[in-house]
Amino acid sequence: NAGVMQNPRHLVRRRGQEARLRCSPMKGHSHVYWYRQLPEEGLKFMVYLQKENIIDESGMPKERFSAEFPKEGPSILRIQQVVRGDSAAYFCASSPAGQGAVTEAFFGQGTRLTVV
Amino acid sequence: AQTVTQSQPEMSVQEAETVTLSCTYDTSESNYYLFWYKQPPSRQMILVIRQEAYKQQNATENRFSVNFQKAAKSFSLKISDSQLGDTAMYFCAFMKLYNNNDMRFGAGTRLTVKP
């Protein structure tokens, strides 16, 4: 059973371009979480999705950022018109159950986005 | 809102010795979960140990154990017989029990195990 797969591992974008980060959850997991880690900081929650639904996006900037988790395929975190401040490591985690159930999230290895 | 504080940005320990990493949190919830995650240079987040707030007994996983003080909202991690492979960033995390699985993380403690 492969773990949570994120790609690409490293992504370089020029200011103003779009960044697309992909996350394939563990087999059987239907809940995905995205976190951002700035240098020397902890992970900050961005968004929590289930298949075809955004459950909580309270941690995601209102503009330029969007996330989806379609019925088929990976979850996508999209950042439009990237700026230098978007440079960070973006982690995806998945779990097999959500509300009311305790399952530790399984994390991917992250995508390091560098905006130049 | 829940906050998690790790007051030790960096720590070091000699191989085979014991080290304790501190974590405090703030919440009005009575039922919740606490976690310690390890992030080695590979950047993958690895669960080290988990504590359920309604359990008084401190969780233990081999060389890793916690000191959970619910009234003081403290959740420290003790690593015994430290090994070179324990060198990593360690993150304390809080998760509400009956809500979306919004896991809140501390800023991390960078632990270096010296030979």
Instruction: Show Cβ contacts of residue A114 under 8 Å, excluding neighbours closer than 6 positions.
Output: A10, A11, A12, A13, A87
DSSP B53: T
At residue A101, does pLDDT exceed 60? no
Chain A CB contacts of B101 below 8 Å: 31, 33, 48, 95, 98-99, 105
Element holding A46 (H helix, E strand): strand A43-50
Asked if B101 and A109 come within 8 Å (Cβ–Cβ), the reply is no
DSSP, res A26: P
Residues 66-95 of A with CB under 8 A from B: 89, 91, 93, 95
CB contact under 8 A, B43 and A109: yes
Q: Cα torsion at B45, B97, A68, A43 (round to 10°)?
A: -40
Can you give the pLDDT at residue A82? 98
Nearest to B99 among A31, A42, A99 (CB): A99
pLDDT tens digits along B34-77 = 999 998 887 778 889 999 898 889 999 999 999 999 999 999 99
Give me B89's structure tokens. Answer: 């960033």
Structure tokens at B114: 């010296």
- Amino acid B34: pLDDT: 93
Q: What is the pLDDT of residues A15-71, one digit of tens each?
A: 999 999 999 998 888 889 999 998 777 788 899 898 889 988 988 999 999 999 999
**A104: nearest CA in chain B?**
B47
Q: How confident is the model at residue A99 (pLDDT cuts 50, 70, 90)?
A: very low
Strands A5-7 and B32-39: unpaired
> Please, what is the average pLDDT of chain A?
89
Strands A75-79 and A43-50, by their bridges, are unpaired
β-strand partners of A45: A35
Q: By C-alpha distance, which of B108, B78, B80 is closest to B15?
A: B80
Mean pLDDT of chain B: 90
Q: Which residues of A touch B99 (CB under 8 A)?
A: 99
Mean pLDDT of A82-102: 80
